[in-house]
Every structure is written in structure tokens, then in C-alpha cells.
Structure 1
Amino acid sequence: METLLRLVVVVTLLILMFCFVEVMSHREKIGSYQSYGHMRL
């Protein structure tokens, strides 16, 4: 059970890092990124 919790935390951190990198690389096109992210969700 504890290993499952750790796995969830690690996956969440990876997703947050990925989102952060995506936002930083697309910062000059924030408007198009927001509509793109809305489509993905």
C-alpha cells in the first residue's frame, strides 16, 4: 500500500514537471497553449 502511494506521488511529480516544461517552452504562445491544453483535458 505504501509503495502504491509512493508510485502515485512520483507519477504526479513527473506530470507536473512535464507540464512546467511545456508551459516554459510555449510561454510566448500562451493563448494557443491554453486552448491546446483545454482540448487535451
Structure 2
Amino acid sequence: MNNTMDANARVFEVELMAQEEERRQTRIELRDTTEVRAVSAL
């Protein structure tokens, strides 16, 4: 029982980390796009 819970917790942590990394990448892309637009506007 405990092993199953531990495994599920690990899977959950890995998925959470993957989601956070994905969000971070999206933010970086958004920032880059905004910078490009700002430079184009100049």
C-alpha cells in the first residue's frame, strides 16, 4: 500500500515539475515575442 502511494506521489511530483517547466517556457516565449514587437514598433 505504501509503495503504491509513494509511486503515485513521485509521478505527481514529476508531472507538476513538467507543468511548471512548460509554463516557464511559455512565459519566456511570450516575453521574447513582446520584446520583438517592442523593437519592431521602434
TM-score, structure 2 normalization: 0.64
Runs ≥4 residues deviating over 4 A:
none
CA distance in 2, matches of 1:15, 1:2: 20
Gaps of 5+ in 1: 30-41
CA distance in 2, matches of 1:16, 1:4: 18
Give the percent of matched residue pairs that are identical in Structure 1 and Structure 2. 7
CA distance in 2, matches of 1:2, 1:20: 27
Q: Considering Cα pairs closer than 8 Å and 6+ residues apart, tell me whether 1 or 2 has the greater RCO.
A: 1
Provide the alpha-carbon RMSD of the alignment: 1.3
CA distance in 2, matches of 1:14, 1:7: 10
Gaps of 5+ in 2: 33-42
